[in-house]
Structure 1
């Protein structure tokens, strides 16, 4: 049984997320995590970032990790997502309205001024991660939103790897000049509808505890608090 979802970019980073299951004990999670960190230390450089329940953080702190922040996870079922009249329009990248570079630039704008405390990767690495994780059809998952002809944000809804019906968003963000106008909630609700179209039956989203605007969007769109996790990071420099 898999205990952690890990994205690996050899020589650059590992991104590790605990897969919370009631059938797995705290002790088993910690044993698996220790083995995973040992494997990374034996051959990898760059950094490793881990999302983990805070009750097990001593395992990582003892290994030299720094705690970056705390995130909250929200969830909701998608069976009752209904048709809405949205004040926004959206297109995916495969439709050709934006170039890949235009989309990367819009992504970068959405990250500007974010309340999330996790250290940002260069946008080139982010785009490479999207292509690697989502495969050849990655553009089909990358949506941009407009309001009255002006770009207002992006969303990347997908089915979580290793599941058939868990909806996630690789990224969701609103450009700074469009924040505080209620458009983020509309974009998020539209993204939930897109997840339902992709056969997701439920959604899990997360954000930093300091990002109250995103928490308010979760609550407005019917999501409930599921979990809290710490973000822990360790860098290993080449000798």
Structure 2
């Protein structure tokens, strides 16, 4: 049984997320993580980032990892979404109204001033990750949003790897100069509708515990707190 979801990006990074199960003893999680860590030392590179229950924190420190921060995870069913704001329009990158470079620049703008404490990757690396993790149709998942023809934010909805109906957002963000006006809540609601169109039946989102604005967006859009994990990291 795989107790961790793992995304491997060549020699640049590995992202490891603990899959919590009620009846799995802690020693089993530790044994499988040691196997993952050994494989990363042998075949990986860059850094390894793991999301894991904070009860394992001291053990992870002993393994050489350092704590970055903590995240909270929210979830909601997608069968009862409220009406959308007709003044805000979503556009897929695959529609051809924006090129890849400009989308990358908009992504970079939206993540400026983020309260998340995890180290940001260069935008070129982020765009390569999009292509790698979302596959050849990655542009179908990259949305940007406008209001009165002005760019206001982005969202990247997709189905979580190895699931059929778990909706996730690879990224969600609002341009800095309109933050604090409720626009983020509206764009996030649009993104939930897009997830439903991608055949997701429920949504899972996470953010840094220090990102109170994103936590409020989750709550305003009917998401419920599901879990909390630590973010731990080790460099090669």
What TM-score does the superposition give when structure 2 sets the normalisation length?
Answer: 0.96
Asked if the contact 2:85–2:186 (Cα under 8 Å) also holds between the matched residues in 1, the reply is no
Runs of 4+ more than 2 Å apart: 20-27, 42-45, 82-87
Q: Distance in 2 between matches of 1:32 and 1:78?
A: 33
What residue is the counterpart of 1:165 in the other structure? 165
Pick closer, same or farther for the CA change 1:53–1:95 going to 2, 3 Å.
same
Deviates more, 1:209-218 or 1:21-30: 21-30
Deviation of the 1:44 alpha carbon: 2.5
Unaligned runs of 5+ in 1: none
What residue is the counterpart of 2:194 in the other structure? 194
Deviations for 1:210-234, whole angstroms, at most 9, x for unmatched residues? 0000000000000010000111111
What TM-score does the superposition give when structure 1 sets the normalisation length?
Answer: 0.95
Q: Secondary structure at the match of 2:124?
A: helix
Once the two structures are superposed, the pairs formed by residues 1-239 of structure 1 within 5 Å of their partners are 1-236=1-236
Q: Distance in 1 between matches of 2:22 and 2:232?
A: 22
Asked if the contact 2:84–2:186 (Cα under 8 Å) also holds between the matched residues in 1, the reply is no
Q: Distance in 2 between matches of 1:20 and 1:152?
A: 36
Deviation of the 1:106 alpha carbon: 0.3
Unaligned runs of 5+ in 2: none
Deviation of the 1:95 alpha carbon: 0.2
Deviation of the 1:85 alpha carbon: 3.2
Deviates more, 1:30-39 or 1:63-72: 30-39
Equivalences, count: 236
